[in-house]
Amino acid sequence: MDTPLVDIESPPLVRVGETCERLVRFTREDIATFARVTGDTNPLHHDVQAAQRARHGEIIASGQQTTAQMIGLLASHFSRSDDGQERELLCLNFNFAFKAPVFAEQDLVLHWRVASVEWNATLGGWLFHADGRATVRHAHPCVIGRGTLLVKVAQD
């Protein structure tokens, strides 16, 4: 079996253990606007009185708002060119589990870590898995996730 040719002289595009992180904070207005724009009419995202009567007692962000920020962080980090290497990135798959609510006006730390990397000759790039979480400072994760992505050198 022939080994695929990989330009070992060029800088690696992704490494096991590589991380990226961002701090986000959603206001009540951010939460309500995101829910409206995405068609999520659940009153827990915009109606303070309904939210106060519900299980968590206050406005919560929709799951898709938190996961969109998580995916955006990962996509931005691995499509960057700040090291002089132009990249192309494809997000292939994501799975998320919701562990706790995300409330307005909380600092939420988004964090991803590359768990595995392998060269994929058929796709012409590095296929990798990343494990992520969104955590309120000094607490257990609100959202955990795993993503499968492909990153390769950008074609001119």
Q: What gap in Å lies between CA 34 and CA 62, rounded to an integer?
A: 8
CATH class of 19-153: alpha beta
The pLDDT tens digits for 41-85 are 988 898 888 888 888 889 999 999 999 999 999 999 999 888 888
**Prediction pTM value:** 0.89
Element (H, E) at 64: helix 63-78
The pLDDT tens digits for 104-113 are 999 999 999 9
Quick one: the chain helix, strand, coil %, rounded to 5?
20, 35, 40
